Amino acid sequence: MINKKIENILSHGFRRSKLLFKAAVCFAVLFLCGSFQGNNEISEPTIKALFIYNFTKYVEWPVEKDPAHIIIGFYGPSAIIDELKKVCANKKVKDREVEIRQANDVNEAEKCDIFFIPQDESADFSYLNEQLQGKGVLIVTEEDGLGQKGAAINIIEKDDKIRFELNEASIKHAGLKISSQLLALAIKL
Amino acid sequence: MLLKLFTKTVTVLRFYVKTVASYIHFLSMMKINFKFFFFLFILFSFRGYSQDTPTVSRDENYYDMSLEELMNIKISVASVKELTPRESPGIVTLITADDIKNFGARDLTDVLRMVPGFDFGTDVEGIVGIGVRGNWAHEGKILLLIDGQQMNENLYSTIQLGNHYPVENIQRIEIIRGPGSAVYGDCAEYAVINIITKKAKDIQGGGISAFYGQTNKGLAHRKTNIFLGEEQKDFSYTFSGYLSESNRSTEIYTDVYGNSYDMSDQSQIKTANINLGLNIKDYQFRGIIDNYTLNTRDAYQQILSKAYTMSFDSYFFELKKDYRINSKLSLTPKFNYKSQTPWAFDNASEQDEFERYKVNSQQYSGSLTASYDFNPRLNLITGTEYIHNIAIQKAGSVFYTTSTDRLGYENASVFAQTLFKTRVATFAAGARYNYNSRYDASFVPRFGITKALNKFHFKLLFSKAFRAPNTENIDLNPLIKPENTRVFEAETGYEISPSMFITVNAFDIVTKDPIIYYYDALYNDGYTNLERTGTRGSEVEYKYKSSGGYAGVNYSFYVPSGTVLRNYAVPVNPDALLGFATHKINLTSGIKISNHIKLNASVSFSGPRYGIVGLDEITGDTIVNKFKPVVIANLNISYDDLFFKGMSASFGVYNLFDSEEFYIQPYNSLHAPLPGYAREFALKISYNLHFNQP
């Protein structure tokens, strides 16, 4: 039965007018796809990954938990992880490589220098923030309002651009030092 | 040797010919010219090539920018691959390992009970299955995947619940409460349950647990689980082993003729499950062995003189590899082998009362899936799949259709799905065409529009889905046709705060030519296509989660859609279907008493249900009873790091109010309602060790 269908289709012939119409539709779709691609745009996970990578340059930790690595932990899955891996590949910050890992509980988070809480996991922020006080961990979040609630750095979106809030009190409680350059760029809380 | 090689070559060639043939058939059905597609392919290829280089260099430029420079860059909309549940084109429930731990779930039934629209009913021979949105989904209408392996058995496509699949090693469960045929193919008609077990990087160590539960009449559950997992540079593995024993119930079962027996010692269920995952570089291997045996005395209508042991043996193997061709294109070839011997009873000396039945079904399948990112907002997934099924009689019988001990058939399908994320909305479109060697082909398209707007989100979905007849459907009725379903769904959600979320949806399901199993008073059974069935209704879900605890409530409601089939009808209430409550409410809550202690409670309330309980002695008509509402409440208290780090204990009380729980047969085949669990007290001890722990 199927062979007959193949024969039918192969012998069906070529309809020029239909092809032209479909080609026009095809061009229209492609044009539409292309029109959405701005020249000076970058995906949100990529730019957030770049921000996190850049934070490592401006923060001083009182104790190097791992002298060979700056450890960035993620609390749950995030599209930023893959981007950050690409950004940090073959790069060193202050002679230390950047290691990206999952840190799904407080014990794992304590071992990190930067601990990122993705937006979907923001509900656990208060608990995690409380548990990590004074442990030398820079907590970075991406949910509106969490900077006010005590996140050391809260990445936010404003007018299609990325900004970050910096909570100086939280940074002090975490036992960290930040450079004045970072402070100058931040929205201070 | 040469002959073997020749046979294999022929098999491979047949696969390709069939694949190409099914593509051609698909295109012809879509009334689309070949040359148009060739043209489209060339254009897309050209565009893909032209975009490739600048994109990479552009990103790399960004990599060297300072924070100040980055702050001037505009962000684009997120990639379609990063769709959140709010944007994904489906009505989705996500259940995490923490949720399962909090529920104190004994098995998958405890987890699924809390999902909106999900319920349970009894089939035959002590088997319990799933209903979705008022529809009996047990036979081939719901797909259960564990680590990508299709658990539905190959003879009738059923999923057997009740102390079956282990929940101890689950990382998360993704449930699509709607059709998934366009992507997942067969069985994904009303819902898809996709279980993903813990990956090596989640485990990095091992653990062991033991569980014991008791009702006031005897053993309810006892089970043990062990797991290991480790990730190294190019190699990772996970292993889990699970053994369990339970009674389906410790209550009294009474058949439609009034005969009874105590299920305490006559409904034993034993499960053994091994799951092995290996990753070597980009190669991924998965092997699962599942053995489920149960003592059954309830049979079909009249109880048997004693309990008989029936078994379901399954073996699943998969090998796949992800080829990342470039930053836009990836290819995943996959080969699967599945061997199952379900519903098996093979004791010749006892065949008079309980008929011997042992059929081994083997399935060989190969698929190739391609994923192409035209740009971060436009993704296309397309692929082809070939499945060869062969069933072999092992107890001396022959198939009616072939008059031999073998019955085989083949499926070849092509599928495509595209996701397109714009600033206006996210659009999804997909379709699958399935060609079968023994019955009509199926074509199931799917469309969806989703939009997340600040705190709100909206979804509009249209899907078609199919259930392909399986070995025994074909054998008992060679004229059987695939059944086809179409579903409209709409959902809206609102994020009250980062900790609080509410969603509301409405659905309308219509299944045409439903494949119905019947077993009548004259002991005739078989499968037939009837006219149509379906339901419409709504589901509401509220969730709250904070560091100190969580709470959730969901409500689901359905009414039959259109004329109700006699097999599902409730004579005294045209607004309900047999077996399933039209109203159901689930409540979950947990509070963190200290850093180590959590107290969790869950309540499932089902409204009145209807089920067949007897036969009128004079007229021979079925007697349908209205069952009063049921409240199943569970309490679970857990203590982490008990005595030392990594050791946990939990104590649970299940069915706290000792409610009379029944699994009602949701179709008219004269099986009386099967009792569920009475109040159970249970203790679980577990110990987890992390290899990288200091």
DSSP B190-219: SEEEEEEEPPHHHHSEEEEEEEEEEETTEE
Residue A4 in tokens: 């007959």
Please say if the pLDDT value at position B31 is more than 50: no
Q: What is the mean pLDDT of chain B?
A: 86
Mutate to test the interface with B, among A12, A25, A26 (most CBs of B within 10 A): A26
Distance of alpha carbon B416 from alpha carbon B87, whole angstroms: 19
Give the pLDDT confidence of B496-518 residue by residue, as tens digits. Answer: 887 788 999 999 999 999 998 87
Give the pLDDT confidence of B369-412 residue by residue, as tens digits. Answer: 999 988 778 899 999 999 999 999 998 899 999 999 999 999 99
Give the pLDDT confidence of B187-231 residue by residue, as tens digits. Answer: 999 999 999 999 998 888 999 999 999 999 888 999 999 999 999
Please enumerate in sequence order all residues whose Cβ is within 8 A of that of A17, keeping only pairs 6 or more positions apart, or say none. Answer: none
- Number of A:B CB contacts under 8 A? 149
Residue B52: what pLDDT? 32
Select the residue of A41, A87, A127 nearest B547 (Cβ to Cβ): A127
Contacts of A29 in chain B (CB under 8 A): none
Q: Are the beta carbons of B683 and B212 closer than 8 angstroms? A: yes
Distance from CA of A9 to the nearest CA of B (A): 7
Tokens 């209807």 found at: B610
Q: Could A120 and B24 be called an inter-chain contact, meaning their C-beta atoms sit closer than 8 Å? A: no
Percent of chain B surpassing pLDDT 70: 88
> Which of the residue ranges B37-46, B140-149, B356-365, B458-467 would you say has the lowest mean pLDDT?
B37-46
CA-wise closest residue to B194 among B129, B246, B245, B150: B150
Taking residues A121-145, what's their average pLDDT? 91
Q: Which long-range contacts (CB under 8 A, 24 or more apart) does A33-37 make?
A: A33/B47, A33/B374, A33/B375, A33/B377, A33/B378, A33/B420, A34/B47, A36/B375, A36/B377, A36/B422, A36/B423, A37/B51, A37/B76, A37/B375
Contacts of B548 in chain A (CB under 8 A): 127
Distance of alpha carbon A16 from alpha carbon A10, whole angstroms: 15
Q: Could B375 and A36 be called an inter-chain contact, meaning their C-beta atoms sit closer than 8 Å? A: yes
Distance from CA of B479 to the nearest CA of A (A): 17
Distance from CA of A127 to the nearest CA of B (A): 5
The larger pLDDT score, comparing residue B620 to residue A97, is at A97
Taking residues B136-148, what's their average pLDDT? 95
CA-wise closest residue to B269 among B247, B251, B250: B247
Select the residue of B47, B376, B546 nearest A30 (Cβ to Cβ): B47
Alpha-helix runs per DSSP H in A59-115: 79-88, 106-110
CA atoms within 13 A on the CB side of A112: 27
At residue B81 the predicted structure's pLDDT band, cuts being 50, 70 and 90, is low
At residue B21 the predicted structure's pLDDT band, cuts being 50, 70 and 90, is very low
Q: Could A128 and B435 be called an inter-chain contact, meaning their C-beta atoms sit closer than 8 Å? A: no
Distance from CA of B50 to the nearest CA of A (A): 11
Residue A161: what pLDDT? 82
Taking residues B62-89, what's their average pLDDT? 71
Q: Are the beta carbons of B36 and B29 closer than 8 angstroms? A: no
Residue B359 in tokens: 């059929």
The larger pLDDT score, comparing residue B486 to residue A28, is at B486
Q: B423: exposed, middle or buried (C-beta count within 10 Å: 0-12, 13-18, 19+)?
A: exposed
Distance of alpha carbon A86 from alpha carbon B339, whole angstroms: 42
Q: B560: exposed, middle or buried (C-beta count within 10 Å: 0-12, 13-18, 19+)?
A: buried
Please say if the pLDDT value at position B16 is more than 80: no
Give the total residue count for chain A: 189
Please say if the pLDDT value at position A53 is more than 50: yes
Please say if the pLDDT value at position B18 is more than 50: no
Give the pLDDT confidence of B427-440 residue by residue, as tens digits. Answer: 999 999 999 998 88
Taking residues B165-170, what's their average pLDDT? 94
Distance of alpha carbon A33 from alpha carbon B454, whole angstroms: 24
Please say if the pLDDT value at position B585 is more than 80: yes
Contacts of B75 in chain A (CB under 8 A): 41-44, 47, 157, 160-162
Select the residue of A36, A104, A122 nearest B498 (Cβ to Cβ): A122
Tokens 């309602």 found at: B673
Mutate to test the interface with A, among B42, B58, B64, B76 (most CBs of A within 10 A): B76
Residue B619 in tokens: 């007229």
Percent of chain B surpassing pLDDT 90: 64
Contacts of A19 in chain B (CB under 8 A): 33, 35-36, 39
Residue B7: what pLDDT? 53
Residue A10: what pLDDT? 36
Please say if the pLDDT value at position B66 is more than 50: yes
Q: B54: exposed, middle or buried (C-beta count within 10 Å: 0-12, 13-18, 19+)?
A: exposed
Please say if the pLDDT value at position A1 is more than 70: no
Residue B562 in tokens: 């259109």
At residue B4 the predicted structure's pLDDT band, cuts being 50, 70 and 90, is low
Distance from CA of A75 to the nearest CA of B (A): 12
CA atoms within 13 A on the CB side of A9: 22
Q: Could B75 and A23 be called an inter-chain contact, meaning their C-beta atoms sit closer than 8 Å? A: no
CA-wise closest residue to B76 among B57, B58, B90: B58
Q: Could B499 and A51 be called an inter-chain contact, meaning their C-beta atoms sit closer than 8 Å? A: no
Q: Which helix (H) or strand (E) holds B381?
A: strand B378-393
Taking residues B522-527, what's their average pLDDT? 78
CB atoms within 10 A of CB B454: 7
Which A-chain residues 118-157 have CB contacts (< 8 A) with chain B? 119-120, 122-128, 130, 143, 145-146, 157
Q: What pTM does this model have?
A: 0.75
Please say if the pLDDT value at position B417 is more than 60: yes
Tokens 């009334």 found at: B31
Distance of alpha carbon B20 from alpha carbon B23, whole angstroms: 5
Give the pLDDT confidence of A104-128 residue by residue, as tens digits. Answer: 888 899 999 999 999 888 888 999 9
Taking residues B639-659, what's their average pLDDT? 93
Q: Are the beta carbons of B561 and B572 closer than 8 angstroms? A: no
Crossing angle, helix B34-63 and helix A44-58, to 10 degrees? 20
Residue B82: what pLDDT? 60
Q: Could A9 and B34 be called an inter-chain contact, meaning their C-beta atoms sit closer than 8 Å? A: yes
* Positive or negative: CA dihedral B22, B25, B27, B29: negative
Q: Alpha carbon of B208 to those of A106, A175, B205: distances in Å?
A: 22, 38, 11
Taking residues A83-93, what's their average pLDDT? 87
ipTM: 0.73
